[in-house]
Amino acid sequence: MALTTQQHPAGIAVLEDDWIRGGSDKDAFISPWYVTNMKHRDIDNLQGVLSDTVITEAIRELRSYTPISEED
């Protein structure tokens, strides 16, 4: 999911405590409706690592945007 400095109504705020490693000098928000793929350069220039708590919240919100099959 995209990480942005733009605050949107359904965005998930990334707090300072949510960063396990790295971080952001500006307020950061996860946009759970904006799924993207990572490029090799993104892995080489990793901004940081987020806590399981905020990742779990983002995944839960992502699921509200994606259909779930009867088998799930």
Kindly tell me if the per-residue pLDDT of 16 is higher than 80. yes
CB 48 within 8 A of CB 28: no
Provide the percentage of residues in the chain whose pLDDT is more than 90. 60
Give the pLDDT of residue 2.
Answer: 85
Confidence of residue 31 (pLDDT cuts 50, 70, 90): very high
Cα-Cα-Cα-Cα dihedral of 20, 21, 25, 31, to 10°? Answer: -60
DSSP state of 39: P
Domain boundary assignment for the chain? 2-63
